[in-house]
Chains A and B, each alone.
Chain A
Amino acid sequence: MAPIAVGSVIPDGTLAYLDDDNKPQTVSIHSLAAAKKVIIFGVPGAFTPTCSLKHVPGFIERAEELKGKGVDEIICISVNDPFVMNSWAKTFPENKHVKFLADGAAKYTNALGLELDLSDKGLGVRSKRFALLVEDLKVKVANVESGGEFTISSAEEIIKAL
């Protein structure tokens, strides 16, 4: 699949999470994003350093600012199962707004054309590091790193577009 580009409509897909009773649940991306302004950012892996120490904290710290600029949802997705995503999310107790959603079989990541083979690092097929600004399902900004590096996919960069 070609990578998602500015101007495209994001595909629909099902992502998973654990509810308050720790039971796996699913949600459709379109149900979260239709008629709304959302940021979807993707990370290669839960419990890996750049993701945990830089990428996620940036969005958590600037969440209020993003909400103030009209962003309705800030969604973090990764190719991990919902149990791992849930446990990883708990390592950020200060988080109020970022939703951690699991794309366990990489289906949605593949639909976005943003998959990255990290088998040689012991991770398998994962997501590239990216940040998308999506308004009513249309991609307004697509900041996609070529691998796992951390430059244009930060919260700082996407705020400039708001």
Chain B
Amino acid sequence: MASAMVKGGGSRLIKSVSAALGTRFYAKVATGTDIVSAAPNVSLQKARTWDEGIASKFSTTPLKDIFKDKKVVIFGLPGAYTGVCSNKHVPPYKENIDKFKAKGIDSVICVAVNDPYTMNAWAEKLQAKEAIDFYGDFDGSFHKSLDLVTDLSGALLGTRSERYIIYPP
């Protein structure tokens, strides 16, 4: 069972990261929510190369496979290759991965409304693939299910995800 708490700010678990994050907000996911129940039938696409896509027949990963019986931290951001995301949001997670593991977290996942090939190329550029599992939510269905979308058309990005973190109790 995957329970989750959402913080738009930070927590003791990730003090160093919280400073980089934005302000609080209210979403469909709140303390005590079970993510898989809140977003049934939703899948994410693991960051991969096109060849890996072909080899896996472009398979997607259902949420329950990501969260089942695991303690997972998932953080979302507006866009691959954008400033704050690349320079301030991802690096602290990569640098502090050992601290997460020491606290019993099985994996740290980064997700954005981008296709999995762009996510893969970006993850490789940030040299973060070993520490963090990157997933794409190419059509925004994961974020729409959890009411974590924001309209960034003004920045020419369209509908994207909020900046957030979800972690288990």
Contacts and interface: CB of A to CB of B under 8 A. Distances in A.
B116 to A, nearest CB: 5
Nearest to A15: B156
Nearest to B49: A49
Contacts of A146: none
Nearest to B121: A47
A83 B81 contact: yes
B102 interface: no
A18 to B, nearest CB: 9
A24 interface: yes
Contacts of A120: 58
Nearest to A102: B156
Given A24-B155, A87-B81, A122 B136 contact: yes
A103 to B, nearest CB: 10
B62 interface: no
**Majority SS at the chain A contact face:** mixed
Query: What is the size category of the interface that chain A forms with chain B?
Result: 20 to 34
Interface residues of B, number: 29
Nearest to A87: B81
A84 B114 contact: yes
Interface string A135-151: 00000000000000000
B72 interface: no
Given A47-B120, A83-B80, A122-B115, A16 B156 contact: yes
Contacts of B118: 45-47, 80, 84
A120 B57 CA distance: 9
Given A49-B50, A83-B79, A87-B81, A121 B156 contact: no
Contacts of A45: 115, 117-118
Nearest to A46: B118
Contacts of B114: 84
B100 interface: no
A86 interface: yes
Interface string B82-125: 11000000000000000000000000000000111110111001
Nearest to B51: A49
11 contacts: A22-B83, A24-B155, A45-B115, A45-B118, A47-B118, A48-B50, A48-B117, A83-B81, A84-B79, A84-B118, A122-B53
